[in-house]
Structure 1
Amino acid sequence: MLCRSLLVLLAGLLLVQAHGVDLSLQKRQVAAKSYPPCGTSPPFDPAWSTFLSGALDTGADITACGNSKTWSLTYDDGPSEYTPGLLDQLDTVGVKTTFFVIGCNVANNPSILRRAYQAGHQIGIHTWTHPSLPKLTSEQIVAEIMWTAKIIRDITGQTPTYMRPPYGDIDARVRGLLHKMGLKVVIWNRDTDDWELQTFNPNAQNSSQVVTPTSVRASISSWIASPPAEGIISLEHDLFQLPAQIAGETLQRVSMAGFNINTVASCVGTAPYNNTAIEVIFNPAIASSLSKAPSTTASASANSTATLTASKSPSSSPSPSAGSIRASLDWSIIGTIALVLLCSQLDVSNAF
């Protein structure tokens, strides 16, 4: 009887340990890797110099989606704590949309990005720190794109083909660099201006704010009533609470109006991932060059960056390797087997 009790106890502990190993490994996979800090321009790696030479292609931007009954809802600046609520509503309606994400925000919310990707939504690049690209050097532009592409790839396994420049700011030089990197540039033809709602105060007296929830809803109503012949790519945001809430309302209204809601890639009819020159840079043979850039260690703080590249931060404390953790689990299994054999032997002895 004692043997059986010990076996039950040991089996329970083994299950707990196995679960703990799984969670521990997942946490270490994030914590042991590093990315540039938020708030400053990310470093340029010489391995990316290939994008700076040669002629630049200044092809057209994507601004529309199919036909008058097609609508591509796009969300910028996330992921944030408000993105899951929007994802819940997208799940309920059963449609796919496009998220243009900021690398720094991805670093702080990797699980939210993973959920959006696994749900079938398109993930696009929106730079690492959300700068106006025409104001940057070419090296800075490439670095903003590469670090964002890298963190998206590390989380999803995919390198985005589509990107949106912050504020929609773009010129011939920026466009040429982005196209040389193999990226498709997406703008919009309908702007909700919902980002201004982050400062909306419903209790303010005599407010001079032009953009309000009422004005955003009125814009959506007019677009639903008179859509352009080339279809709609609308700009919304999921970084702040009120814009994300209005975005959820817009989703419901556009769906109920009978529009075909698509990702931008579906509108254009090309693959959303891995059709870029960036993928060559991420070849394992040369990916180690990314580890030379200065970085920070991940933390749970909203002001720090979760880290997902191959280099370990100098400030991070050493932790057991995956092999040593699994070895510990293996010895637990061996101990369990030994106890089973011992109990079996005792049962046989007692039978005589």
Structure 2
Amino acid sequence: MIIYRAVQTALLAGFFLKSGECLASNGSTALIGDEDMQTPFPEWLKEFTNITQWPGLDPPYIPLDYIDLTKVPEFERYQSGRCPNISREQCSFDCYNCVDVDDVTSCFKLSQTFDDGPTPATETLLENLRHRTTFFVLGINTVSFPHIYESVVERGHLVGTHTWSHAFLPSLSNEEIVAQIEWSIWAMNATGKHFPKYFRPPYGAIDNRVRAIVKQFGLTVVLWDHDTFDWKLITNDKLRTEEQIFKDIETWKSQRKGLILEHDGARRTVDLAIKINKLVGNDQLTVAECIGDTDYIERYD
């Protein structure tokens, strides 16, 4: 059996240790999901996929009868940072800040959102929150730390999908994009007994090809209008400091609205999130509350 690695916020920074573990901000290696503690691979998923265990970082493509790839526009695939070659027609958020009319980009109250969990660091954040918030989780982390995921749900927070393993979706084939999304949903099905309604693309990397696939799952794309760039603290980027982030928070508070992008994949960013929460206060909303919609497409008994 595979021991599944927790994908930490360091994914955003793009560095790994040889074992696939990620270096945490305190200089120690992040905890690895214990195989014995994972969400059990459900029988219904074994029957449907003919697979007997959760996949590694690259999940296999399983065709779904409600996903029609012939309806996906044939835009060119691109790698991170290759924006000059991308047409405006593709409506790339990561390249041109282009958004679709159905994308959620803001909120009428200033509200925090968190990507890349659940991880052991998430537990500290949960202990310090006194309001509902939104977590966009990785499927591979969900099955690796099911008890933390369950704690998020039990405390009433909203959970959306952030793909299976934090892939840069525009660089993938249509089938690979489907795999990243379907396995993340199955992880949430098996662990939290619900079908997510909200989706946030890793790196904000989304164009109309990716959107066409995401929408066939019934998911609503959620982006942001305030970025803390908190992950840069993990890489010790001297161009981004806590003081600069707090200054930005004060500016955003004066505007009284927006969705703040943060991460709960590492203790360093969680410690910062707790400080930001004190600055923003508890009068915050989940993404569903921001747009007056339901929390999940479906809940299961």
**Fold match by TM threshold 0.5:** yes
The one-character-per-residue Cα deviations of 1:300-326 (angstroms, maximum 9, x if unpaired) are: xxxxxxxxxxxxxxxxxxxxxxxxxxx
The Cα of 1:59 is off from its aligned counterpart by: 4.6
The one-character-per-residue Cα deviations of 1:34-74 (angstroms, maximum 9, x if unpaired) are: 544333x2101123563424477x653110112xxx12210
Which amino acid counterpart does residue 72 of structure 1 have in structure 2? Answer: S
Which amino acid counterpart does residue 118 of structure 2 have in structure 1? Answer: P
Residue 31 to residue 157, structure 1, CA distance change in 2 (3 Å): closer
The reply to whether residue 179 of structure 1 matches residue 215 of structure 2 is: yes
- In the other structure, the counterpart of 2:102 is 60
Report matched runs for 1:36-47 at 5 Å: 36-39=54-57, 41-47=58-64
- Specify every segment of 5 or more residues in structure 2 that has no aligned partner in the other structure, as ranges: 1-35, 43-51, 74-99
- In the other structure, the counterpart of 1:128 is 164
In structure 1, the residue corresponding to 2:159 is in which secondary structure? strand
- Specify every segment of 5 or more residues in structure 1 that has no aligned partner in the other structure, as ranges: 1-26, 201-207, 283-352
Query: Contact 1:62–1:185 (CA<8 Å) still a contact in 2?
Result: yes
Q: Distance in 1 between matches of 2:213 and 2:179?
A: 11
Query: Contact 2:106–2:224 (CA<8 Å) still a contact in 1?
Result: yes
Query: Contact 2:115–2:264 (CA<8 Å) still a contact in 1?
Result: yes
The one-character-per-residue Cα deviations of 1:271-324 (angstroms, maximum 9, x if unpaired) are: 12126xxx9xx9xxxxxxxxxxxxxxxxxxxxxxxxxxxxxxxxxxxxxxxxxx
Which amino acid counterpart does residue 86 of structure 1 have in structure 2? Answer: L
The Cα of 1:224 is off from its aligned counterpart by: 1.3
Q: Distance in 2 between matches of 1:126 and 1:197?
A: 21
- In the other structure, the counterpart of 2:17 is none
Q: Distance in 2 between matches of 1:55 and 1:134?
A: 13
Query: Contact 1:78–1:106 (CA<8 Å) still a contact in 2?
Result: yes
- Percentage identity across paired residues of the two chains: 36
4+ residue runs over 6 A deviation: none
- In the other structure, the counterpart of 1:242 is 268
- In the other structure, the counterpart of 1:294 is none
In structure 2, the residue corresponding to 1:224 is in which secondary structure? helix
Residues matched between the structures, number? 230
From 199, 222, 228, the equivalent of 2:251 is 222
Report matched runs for 1:89-100 at 5 Å: 89-90=128-129, 94-100=130-136
Q: Which protein is bigger by CA-based radius of gyration?
A: 1
Residue 173 to residue 28, structure 1, CA distance change in 2 (3 Å): closer
Q: Distance in 2 between matches of 1:35 and 1:182?
A: 26
The one-character-per-residue Cα deviations of 1:175-212 (angstroms, maximum 9, x if unpaired) are: 11111211000000000000111123xxxxxxx62111
- In the other structure, the counterpart of 1:13 is none
Residue 31 to residue 172, structure 1, CA distance change in 2 (3 Å): closer
Q: Looking at both structures, which has the greater relative contact order when contacts are Cα pairs under 8 Å and sequence separation is at least 6? A: 1
- In the other structure, the counterpart of 2:139 is 103
Which amino acid counterpart does residue 284 of structure 2 have in structure 1? Answer: I
Residue 169 to residue 55, structure 1, CA distance change in 2 (3 Å): closer
Which amino acid counterpart does residue 221 of structure 2 have in structure 1? Answer: V
Report matched runs for 1:1-352 at 5 Å: 30-31=39-40, 35-39=53-57, 41-47=58-64, 50-54=67-71, 59-66=101-108, 70-90=109-129, 94-200=130-236, 209-227=238-256, 231-255=257-281, 260-274=283-297
The Cα of 1:215 is off from its aligned counterpart by: 1.5
Decide which structure has greater helix share: 1
Residue 125 to residue 269, structure 1, CA distance change in 2 (3 Å): same
In structure 1, the residue corresponding to 2:261 is in which secondary structure? strand
Which amino acid counterpart does residue 153 of structure 1 have in structure 2? Answer: N
Query: Contact 1:59–1:179 (CA<8 Å) still a contact in 2?
Result: no
Which amino acid counterpart does residue 120 of structure 1 have in structure 2? Answer: G
The Cα of 1:111 is off from its aligned counterpart by: 0.5
Q: Distance in 1 between matches of 2:67 and 2:55?
A: 25
Query: Contact 1:36–1:43 (CA<8 Å) still a contact in 2?
Result: no
Higher mean alpha-carbon deviation, 236-245 vs 29-38, is at 29-38
Which amino acid counterpart does residue 44 of structure 1 have in structure 2? Answer: Y
Which amino acid counterpart does residue 42 of structure 1 have in structure 2? Answer: P
The one-character-per-residue Cα deviations of 1:143-192 (angstroms, maximum 9, x if unpaired) are: 10111111111111111000100000111111111112110000000000
Query: Contact 2:67–2:213 (CA<8 Å) still a contact in 1?
Result: no
Query: Contact 2:140–2:187 (CA<8 Å) still a contact in 1?
Result: no
Q: TM-score, normalised by structure 2?
A: 0.71
Q: Distance in 2 between matches of 1:100 and 1:110?
A: 14
Which amino acid counterpart does residue 224 of structure 2 have in structure 1? Answer: W
Q: Distance in 1 between matches of 2:125 and 2:179?
A: 30
Q: TM-score, normalised by structure 1?
A: 0.61
The Cα of 1:82 is off from its aligned counterpart by: 0.6
The Cα of 1:107 is off from its aligned counterpart by: 1.8
Q: Distance in 2 between matches of 1:141 and 1:49?
A: 15
Which amino acid counterpart does residue 81 of structure 1 have in structure 2? Answer: P
Residue 141 to residue 213, structure 1, CA distance change in 2 (3 Å): same
